[in-house]
A and B are shown apart, each in its own frame.
Chain A
Amino acid sequence: MPREITYREALKEALDEELAHDENVVIIGEEVAEYNGAYKVTEGLWKKWGSKRLIDAPISEAGFIGIGIGASMLGVRPVMELMFYSFAYVAFDQMMNNAAAVRYMSGGLIHCPIVVRGPANGGTNVGATHSHTPENIFANMPGLKVVSPSHPIDAKGLLKSAIRDNDPVYFMESTVLYGTKGLVPANEELEGGELLIPLGKADVKREGTDISLIAHGRAVLTCLAAAEILESQHQISAEVVDLRSIRPLDEETIMASVRKTHRAIYVEENKPFCGIGAQISSMIMEQAFDDLDAPVLRIASADAPAIYSPPLEKMQLPVPEEVVARALTLF
């Protein structure tokens, strides 16, 4: 029987299983070990695996992320935690230049099997410095992979695959999702005995026939709620496509959905300018133009730095009502 567990527990299971699976897997980050994780994702793992496998780092993101990248070149498989993905900007050079380009610049002699994971979301009133959503920035760089799970099952299956991947995978979670629950199969009921979801595979989270709501991360939940409203109040059947993995990207699933529904909206909590939605809508236009009955719309967060004021920050992020209202304009 699948169990209902939280997104946080799903991540922890993935980490725990991968620590067992490969002795080269090491978890490094601020407060990941003795404190049990700033968001408790690594709770109990230090006690179980000890100080060689879980390492508390000082506040030195450029240094310890760089160390992770360097170690990965020599066969260690570091899983780095950023307390907030916003702090990736302190380590930006390491993540953009070294991890992304060393394979290319060495003509393929070197590769970096590293995962850098942590929450990349707004919506928690922590202000502009702590609310960055850099998935588009990192996905822009060839050599990097970007993953953003919306549900516990994806969190677990994708994290395990990310850790086994031989390229740098930047794994973006959400503090708002950590406590959300979902069904995750137990290993005994799985063929092969474990949950591995390949990178580059989107997931249709809800089938529909009239419009495709395409999203990644928490915006998938927004789309699912919008789809409910469209169905119950407007007799519109919305399909919800969860990218799960942004790069590599599952074009086939996106295009198949659009060819079926003839309408599409991309929803994300990222900023609009050159966001993921810009990429996806351009691809739909190029590949499925004749199938479209309406322009592809994009919904993103308001185009300003994250505001602190709690009621206003709510207005900055996409909500189901906005998705519904914009969807209705397409019919």
Chain B
Amino acid sequence: MAKKSVPYSDAPINASLSSDEKIELLRTMVRIRRFEQAALKAYNENNIGGFLHLYIGQESVAVGGISLLGENDHVITAYRDHGHALAVGMGMNECMAELYGKKTGCSKGKGGSMHYFAPDKNYWGGHGIVAGQTPLGAGIAFALKYRNLTGCCLCYLGDGAINQGSYHEALNLASLWELPVVYIIENNGYSMGTSQVRSSAHPEGGLAARADAYEIAWDKFDGVSLYEIRAKVQTAIDRAHKESKPSVLEILTYRYKGHSVADANAEKYRSKEEIQRYMTEHDPIENWKATLIGEGVLTEENYKVIQREAAAEADASAEFARKSPFPDESEIFDDVYWEVDNRTASGTTGRHFFHG
């Protein structure tokens, strides 16, 4: 697609990064990985129920895009949502406590792994139904435009989600109504056990190329380098901010673990060699680390400290989660209706609940 006339590190958005900012990007990716590793351990120790979809291997995609956002820019994603959560600035404690189903969790233990939210950080979830978030992302963009705010919504989705009708309806509307939404397809090659070639018919250009049918600008690129991700997502953000137009970006990435921790076939539908190859040749953290060491911004010593601190923070979050109380039984009926919770006239007129 785009010609590599200048190296991505020279793109204005990257050239303006300070050394500290570069190190913070590294730290966020390392924190995500450590958080996920701690979550995996907690899951294996039976402290977490349900599903656990880990983001390990894909860290650059959330961190690169989200690092570009300003006051009126928003994020929404699917159930593989822990990386985006930490990238928008949610704390490990509230995220880990949510996995433990505790009252101190970001959703008070009500949503679980797939349903993280932090509207105060412009983070709108965390959605369990594949592609269910894609019209919502366009809706957030609609609200921005309607309210005359210059902003955009980064709407992340998986390569498997592009086959849902809701996504296509959202694309058409986003184009027709000129909505400032940036769809980011995190193409990790698989939807559960189904490889991308078995799930999607698409033009030669790739999954994002379907956007042509809706006259939406698109791009497809590799997700190993933060510089490249930042440069290209910025182009789409500019399009949203300046022209109020949508974009579709396809970023090639890889998940190291199974679809969820319960995925018994994780090493059957893809070979060990394939997984190993991505881990050694396509690791976004190793790539960024090497870049920063090359630039003289980072030393091996600093990196070890970052690793150690992130691991300690993740362990502490597990401890925090373990010690936190579960919600009280009475809280089951809170947060169902706004009017009831706020004891308004509407919320106290007529019967709202029918148990017992």
B327 within 8 A of A: yes
Interface-located stretch among B13-21, B30-38, B161-169: B161-169
Given A35-B192, A58-B163, A62-B165, A310 contacting B101 (CB threshold 8 A):
yes
Q: Is the CB of B49 within 8 A of A302?
A: no
Say yes or no: A127-B128 contact (C-beta < 8 A), given A60-B164, A63-B165.
yes
Stretch of A147-155, A199-207, A285-293, A311-319 lying at the B interface:
A311-319
Stretch at the interface among B84-92, B107-115, B241-249, B310-318: B107-115
* B-to-A contact residues, CB < 8 Å: 49-51, 98, 101-102, 107, 109-115, 127-132, 160-161, 163-166, 191-194, 198-200, 265, 269, 326-327, 329, 331-333, 336, 353-355
- Give the interface SS of chain B, mostly helix, strand, loop or mixed: loop
Q: Are A59 and B191 in contact (CB under 8 A)?
A: yes
Give chain A nearest CB distance to B222 CB in angstroms. Answer: 24
Residues of A within 8 A of B (CB): 30-31, 34-36, 38, 56, 58-63, 86-87, 89-90, 124-130, 271-273, 300-305, 307-313, 315-316
Q: Cβ of B194 and Cβ of A60 under 8 Å apart?
A: no
- Give me 6 other A-B pairs in contact (C-beta within 8 A), A35-B192, A60-B165 excluded: A31-B194, A59-B161, A59-B191, A126-B112, A129-B129, A308-B113
Contact between chains at B353 and A129 (CB < 8 Å): no
**Distance A36 CA – B194 CA, assembled complex (angstroms):** 11
Contact present for B112 and A308 (CB under 8 Å): yes
Taking a contact as CB atoms closer than 8 A, the residue among A38, A90, A125, A309 that contacts B164 in the complex is A90
Contact of A126 among B51, B127, B165, B193 (CB under 8 A): B51
**By the criterion CB–CB under 8 Å, are A59 and B163 in contact?**
yes
Which residues of chain A are within 8 angstroms of B109 by Cβ–Cβ distance?
Answer: 307-309, 312
A31 cross-chain contacts in B, Cβ below 8 A: 192-194
Decide if A35 touches B194 in the complex (CB within 8 Å). Answer: yes
A interface majority secondary structure: loop
Whether A309 touches B327, Cβ cut-off 8 Å, given contacts A272-B354, A272-B355, A300-B355, is: yes
- The 8 Å CB contact of B50, one of A38, A58, A124, is A124
Q: How far is the CA of A38 from the CA of B101 in the complex (A)?
A: 25
- Cα separation A130 to B49 with both chains bound (whole Å): 13
Of B193, B200, B331, the residue contacting A35 (CB under 8 A) is B193
B333:A304 contact, CB within 8 angstroms: yes
A35 touches B265 (CB 8 A): yes
Known A31-B193, A90-B129; contact A312-B165, beta-carbon cutoff 8 A: no
How far apart are A312's CB and chain B's nearest CB, in angstroms? Answer: 6
Q: Which of A87, A124, A129, A312 contacts B114 (CB 8 A)?
A: A129
In contact, B269 and A58 (Cβ under 8 angstroms):
no
**A-chain residues with CB within 8 Å of residue B354 when the two chains form the complex:** 271-273, 303
A126 contact set on B, CB distance < 8 A: 50-51, 112, 114, 128
Q: Which of B110, B166, B198, B200 has the most CB of A within 10 A?
A: B110
Interchain residue pairs A-B with the least CB separation, the first 6: A125-B49, A308-B112, A309-B101, A129-B128, A125-B50, A309-B109
A302/B115 contact (C-beta < 8 A), A30-B192, A34-B193, A35-B269 known: no
- Return A39 CB to nearest CB of chain B, in Å: 10
Q: A275 → chain B, closest Cβ, in Å?
A: 9
Smallest beta-carbon distance B178→chain A, Å: 26
